[in-house]
Chain A
Amino acid sequence: AQKITQTQPGMFVQEKEAVTLDCTYDTSDQSYGLFWYKQPSSGEMIFLIYQGSYDEQNATEGRYSLNFQKARKSANLVISASQLGDSAMYFCAMREWNNDMRFGAGTRLTVKP
């Protein structure tokens, strides 16, 4: 069963503006982790940010923040002050305890100058 849903196949944002990439997940576990990865056209997967299910505060890493709404089972990625180099595929992923990681279908972000 699909556990990670990314409903936006593609998104556009103007340079220097903020953008939110949506992610919802499904789990019955209490302990799990949520991750966002960036995949540029070169194909490498770059880890961006992590949110634990027990973390009370939203995770932040530089220009990346994770808007975690546990009751709604959503973990949206917010990129502030978009740069041209942010254009890439973005994947949301979840890892349950002692389990493998599951990925969403991804969102292609294009930053316009």
Chain B
Amino acid sequence: DGGITQSPKYLFRKEGQNVTLSCEQNLNHDAMYWYRQDPGQGLRLIYYSQIVNDFQKGDIAEGYSVSREKKESFPLTVTSAQKNPTAFYLCASSIRGASYNEQFFGPGTRLTVL
């Protein structure tokens, strides 16, 4: 079964700690994305990657970092510099480039900072 997995589903972190959210896809997609969603709000783009070993900042990249060492994996690190990290994080992937390709989403990770 092809798809996107995110782990963990729920994550709790103490203030001041870095935490890494996992995202893996087996859809053979070149492009991968990280979004943040706050309660009752839309999706805001954090980072995206169109190809291995390359990634670009989205609209709200401050306090986050990513890596893209493998096509299948695009982990997101929420650093202690992110002032308000409690949110729902969604990872997505798509075929690169064409405007007609939808994004496929993972189930999301709910991060709570205690």
Chain A interface residues toward B at CB < 8 A: 29, 31-33, 35, 37, 42-45, 47, 50, 52-53, 91, 95-106, 108
User: With A43-B88, A44-B105, A44-B107 in contact, do A100 and B99 touch (Cβ < 8 Å)?
Assistant: no
Interface centre among B43, B58, B105 (most CB of A within 10 A): B43
User: Which residues of B lie under 8 Å from residue A100 when comparing CB positions?
Assistant: 33, 45, 48, 58
Number of A-B contacts (CB under 8 A): 62
| Nearest-CB residue, chain B, relative to A95 | B99
Q: Check B102 for interface membership: any CB of A closer than 8 A.
A: yes
User: With A100-B45, A105-B42 in contact, do A50 and B105 touch (Cβ < 8 Å)?
Assistant: no
* Those 10 A-B pairs whose CB atoms lie nearest each other, nearest first: A45-B105, A33-B99, A105-B42, A103-B43, A43-B108, A33-B100, A98-B97, A95-B99, A47-B102, A103-B42
